[in-house]
Amino acid sequence: MRKEFRSLLPLDEARSIVLNHLPVVGEETVQLSSALGRVLAEKIVSGFDVPGFDRASMDGYAIVAAASLDAREDRPVSLRLAGSVPMGAASEVEVTSGQAAEVSTGSMMPFGADAVVMIEHAEVEGDLVRIMKPVHTGENVISSGSDIMFGDVVLLPGTRLGAREVGVLAAVGKCQVRVKTLRVGIASTGNELVVPGKALGPGQIYDINSYSIAAAAMECGATPLAYGVLPDDHQTMADTLLRISKECCMTLVSGSTSAGAGDMVYQVLDDIGETIFHMVYQVLDDIGETIFHGINLKPGKPTIFGTISGKPILGLPGYPTSALTVFGQLAAPAIRKALGLKIIGHRIAGRLARPIRTEGRHQLLAVGVYGDLVYPVDKGSGSITTLSQADGVIEIPSSVEYMEHGQAVNVQLFGEYVEPDLIIAGENCPFLEMIAESLPLNIRFISNGSKRGTLALEDGLADLACVSGIEKIGMLDGHVLIRGYRRELGLIGKNFSDLSGQREINIVGWSPDSEMRGLANREKGLGFDLEMVNIVGRARSHSAVAAAVASGRAYFGFGARVVAELTGLGFKKLASDRIDFLAAVSSLEKVGIKALISALKTWPLKHGLPAGISMDAEAGSVVTHLQ
């Protein structure tokens, strides 16, 4: 029997319910080397001074400061060298007013000395040290206990252990530490899911959520335990959910939460609490309870929450972007609160790069971030490219139907945001990818075709627009052209004899955004009628074209010779195009753009050109108008 969603809750109410059913946190002792990212469960009190002795903070000579008061470069004060202090050992030297002892950074100060003269301000002649600059008491000396004193509380329970905190623990001699433990059982459901690394069968896809949700839980301080992919089978799911609830503090399961007839989590969660005869093993009465099913939120409507054995279970949507979004709204706050961490997450302020029209429904819209600009990347909850291109989400209330260009927004990030050094939008090109790989930069590519690439550049969402056929695009006001290179284009295939006598030919197509689609459609030398072919897929990259041909999914594809050479496929030249780059005048001093210009100018001499690529003396030059 098909079930409908129960009444849809507002997000705030759903979050409040989840936060009122927090998982119970345990404790465990871990080695210091394994403590990074964990949450401290004990108060750390130093059992000794740090440092435990007066130590030199500079290489030089330990002296009695008063002896250097009259020292000048032209009238140095001479002191007798009493010896030296080795690193990591007690000082056996005693210094009086007329003496000095050689010390290194970190070595123990000799008895009697109260300052260190830097080695640059002293000269040694035989057994005399000539001091050319006065020092005051305590100069270049770290006093015992000046960092941490015996009895100091250095870390409190609930502290997230980062690199600095681990260093503090090491400084006070801790080789083990007591930490909070929140074991989160994670499973995906669906007969169509396959573990990455195994071959895909018909109608199958790889399990994404088990890995992305586990990583997100770990970022929050939890310890994820993987339970793999559960089939859409009532008994198997019920048995596994019971096992997870016994072994973990909290359960996160994705997929099978909608109201469809094949979705099992809803049925199992109800049945565990209401009846016991559906289980292979009998369970205690009232072991499970559904608290809510359905949130008035896009994406995330089918979210389900309840308890098994008093422990919370959250059913996330199956689509990867939806699952990660709902995790951030419900699971992440619960995990952080249970561990005693602030419920904040990563946020960043920005402004919309373009207007957004909404559906008049509470929405969490997937967005990308570049500088202070925020732009939508949502292609639907099922899109994997949405997950790869999104930096986070913005929350849009149901009362808002339109958001203006430039409107201030707050982005809830999926994780720590690392701004790319360079964003290049426009045409895809394998040779450009080769150049990018040679640069020590974080470069993001947006393969959206020449026209959309120029729009992204104008909107400030890209540093460069990679264009094919600049003459058709034209120059933009306030922008310049960086000259690139020419590339050979043509038919990519394994066996060109297939062109003759083949009635139906599978070829891989191109995305409508790409200039490659237009070039292929206009080309007369393909050797077959485009109206008689079967289009297999819509590629956004030349490597995707080559992969389709190499795997046998398509007989032929239209693309760059350089990718055919790289993949060992045959190539029949049909055309060529020129790749150039548009950039804003104000961006020419950016490190990433300067690095690309330099690479374009020097690549032929440093690396040589791959087959199908040609460059002339103009490569890397900046021009303000077309000839």
More confidently predicted of 6 and 16: 16
Looking at residue 330, what DSSP letter applies?
Answer: I
**Residue 262: pLDDT over 60:** no
Interval 305-321: pLDDT, tens: 888 888 999 988 888 88
By the 8 A CB rule, do 27 and 178 touch?
yes
Average pLDDT over residues 376-388: 62
Rounded to an integer, what distance in angstroms lies between the CA atom of residue 274 and that of residue 417? 45
Distances (CA, A) of 323 to 249, 300, 530: 20, 7, 41
Report the pLDDT value the prediction gives residue 380, as an integer from 0 to 100.
54
Report the pLDDT value the prediction gives residue 335, as an integer from 0 to 100.
94
More confidently predicted of 522 and 598: 598
Rounded to an integer, what distance in angstroms lies between the CA atom of residue 425 and that of residue 450? 8
Tokens 């690549």 appear where?
603
Same domain, 59 and 43: no
Same domain, 377 and 448: no
Is 564 within a domain? yes
More confidently predicted of 378 and 510: 510
pLDDT grade for 27, boundaries at 50, 70 and 90: very high
Same domain, 408 and 502: no
Average pLDDT over residues 341-347: 71
Report the pLDDT value the prediction gives residue 54, as an integer from 0 to 100.
92
Q: Is residue 200 exposed (0-12), middle (13-18) or buried (19+ Cβ within 10 Å)?
A: exposed
Interval 556-566: pLDDT, tens: 899 999 999 99
Report the pLDDT value the prediction gives residue 577, as an integer from 0 to 100.
93
Average pLDDT over residues 72-99: 92
**Residue 231: pLDDT over 60:** yes
Report the pLDDT value the prediction gives residue 285, as an integer from 0 to 100.
32
By the 8 A CB rule, do 341 and 158 touch?
yes
Same domain, 483 and 604: yes
Report the pLDDT value the prediction gives residue 238, as an integer from 0 to 100.
81
Same domain, 75 and 85: yes
Same domain, 59 and 101: yes
Rounded percentage of the chain residues whose pLDDT exceeds 90 = 46
Backbone angles phi, psi at 570, to 5 degrees: -75, 160
**Residue 267: pLDDT over 60:** no
What amino acid is encoded at 312 in this protein?
Answer: P
Report the pLDDT value the prediction gives residue 138, as an integer from 0 to 100.
93
Is 494 within a domain? yes
Q: Tell whether the torsion through CA atoms of 135, 141, 143 and 144 is positive or negative.
A: negative
State the residue range of the domain holding 224: 11-24+182-339
Q: What is the Cα 452 distance to its own chain's centre?
A: 25
Residue that is last in its domain, among 277, 309, 339: 339
Is 360 within a domain? yes
Give the residues across from 88 on adjacent strands: none
Report the pLDDT value the prediction gives residue 501, as an integer from 0 to 100.
54
Average pLDDT over residues 406-416: 85
More confidently predicted of 522 and 432: 432
Residue that is last in its domain, among 356, 378, 413: 413
Same domain, 435 and 516: yes
Report the pLDDT value the prediction gives residue 532, as an integer from 0 to 100.
67
Average pLDDT over residues 271-282: 31
Same domain, 66 and 124: yes
CATH number at residue 385: 2.40.340.10
Average pLDDT over residues 158-187: 92
Same domain, 163 and 38: yes
Interval 143-159: pLDDT, tens: 888 888 888 888 888 88
Rounded to an integer, what distance in angstroms lies between the CA atom of residue 63 and that of residue 23? 60
Is 4 within a domain? no
Report the pLDDT value the prediction gives residue 269, as an integer from 0 to 100.
46
Average pLDDT over residues 250-273: 54
Same domain, 202 and 229: yes
**Residue 587: pLDDT over 60:** yes
**Residue 344: pLDDT over 90:** no
Distances (CA, A) of 26 to 306, 510, 522, 568: 21, 54, 67, 56
Same domain, 572 and 614: yes
**Chain-wide mean pLDDT for the chain?**
85
CATH number at residue 610: 3.40.190.290
Task: Give every CB contact of residue 202 below 8 A, 6+ residues apart in sequence.
Answer: none
**Residue 271: pLDDT over 80:** no
Q: Is residue 306 exposed (0-12), middle (13-18) or buried (19+ Cβ within 10 Å)?
A: buried
Q: What is the Cα 41 distance to its own chain's centre?
A: 28
Residue that is last in its domain, among 339, 369, 399: 339
Same domain, 262 and 192: yes
Number of structural domains found in the chain: 5
pTM above 0.85, yes or no: no
Report the pLDDT value the prediction gives residue 287, as an integer from 0 to 100.
45
Residue 157: CA count within 13 A, CB half-sphere? 11
**Residue 357: pLDDT over 90:** no
